[in-house]
Amino acid sequence: MRPGLLLVNLGSPASPRTADVKSYLREFLSDQNVVEMPRAVWQPLLRGIILPTRSWRSATFYRDIWTAAGSPLTVNSERLRDRVQALLPDWDVRLAMTYGEPHIATTLKAMAKAGCERPVLLPLFPQFTQSTDQGIIDQADSANVPYTLVHHFYDHPGYQRALAAKLWASYQQHDYDAVIFSYHSIPTAMVRHGDPYQRECEATTKAVCALLPDLPTDKVVTAYQSKFGPMPWLKPYLRNELLQLVELGKRNVLVITPSFVCDCLETLEEDNVQNYQAFRASGGDRFELVPCLNADPDFAASLAELATQTREKVGTHG
């Protein structure tokens, strides 16, 4: 039997055309792990108001970041998969997406058919939250294939070291007034109900800073981005934090996005375009984004190590 590893990322539209973006958003925003509102209330809003107005606008953003090879998130995830596969030559390493293709359940079934016994399922989300991970778990369970879940990896030393190395390489390029750790936000209601995400984000910031003793801690800020809808989400919001820093005279900022391991719409469009423009328009001077880990060799090595450790632990404990 061959060891198996299934990496899972969020997914992307099949193309930047409005119809494909609308189909992707319909699947994504219909997941009750993402939007907890009762279906009878949410679906009419989604289909009658949100999709007709949001799809074309999102499609313009996707067109701006799309590459000749396809969606940046998909392309970078595939490159990461290939690099991990090269580090684990005896394994069957595959990639699936929570929304869009390749499907999680279909891929798990194919791996089982190919002889993978209890593959390791590794969501590419370092910090666990219901809004990303539970949908993966639900789909994996529907395959009726035994698997071993990597619950999170924010505390894995290899991930932390790779993140710290990226941050320090960027930080040394200029004299920055502030370093912002920006994580994808989630509804505060999820945290109140026990979701560990905020705690794990704060622990990530603390651990990375501990690896960089020459990074002044008084420059470090933790913020959250990509809020969706009218309900309260984790704060401070990145956009507001950027504007406040300018008001305080801190006009040179470096932003790192630890919850996004691969470049995607949120890093390439929301941060590098929209947040950059808002920062500059308010009087900011330098706005730099630390590159995502993507297929970074050290990050790939940390995932390979994590998969091996997880399989060994299962082999030891049943």
CATH number, domain at 228?
3.40.50.1400
Q: Which residues are annotated binding-site positions?
A: 184, 266
Q: Which residues are annotated binding-site positions for Fe(2+)?
A: 184, 266
Q: What is the mean pLDDT of residues 48-62?
A: 95
The number of folded domains in the chain is 2
pLDDT of residue 318: 40
Give the neighbor-by-neighbor strand order of the sheet with 220-225: 220-225, 178-184, 252-256, 286-289
Q: What is the average pLDDT score of the chain? A: 96
Q: What is the mean pLDDT of residues 50-73?
A: 96
CA pair distance 8, 266, nearest whole angstrom: 18
Both 93 and 135 in one domain: the answer is yes
Both 80 and 200 in one domain: the answer is no
Residue 5 — φ and ψ, nearest 5°? -135, 125
What does pTM read for this prediction?
0.95
Q: Is 315 or 122 the better-scoring residue by pLDDT?
A: 122
Look up residue 263 and give its DSSP letter: -
pLDDT of residue 316: 41
Both 254 and 119 in one domain: the answer is no
Both 34 and 145 in one domain: the answer is yes
Both 84 and 171 in one domain: the answer is no
Give the neighbor-by-neighbor strand order of the sheet with 148-149: 92-97, 4-9, 120-123, 148-149
Both 280 and 306 in one domain: the answer is no
Both 262 and 190 in one domain: the answer is yes
213 preceded by a cis bond (ω within 30 of 0): no
The string of pLDDT tens digits covering residues 125-166 is 999 999 999 999 999 999 999 999 999 999 999 999 999 999
Q: Is 312 or 215 the better-scoring residue by pLDDT?
A: 215
Both 213 and 99 in one domain: the answer is no
Both 193 and 56 in one domain: the answer is no
The string of pLDDT tens digits covering residues 164-183 is 999 999 999 999 999 999 99
Both 165 and 140 in one domain: the answer is no
Both 10 and 147 in one domain: the answer is yes
Buried b (16+ CB within 10 A) or exposed e, 99-133: bbeebbbebbebbbeeebebbbbbbbbbbbbbbbb
Both 233 and 309 in one domain: the answer is no
H/E segment holding residue 206: helix 197-210
Domain that holds residue 275: 157-289
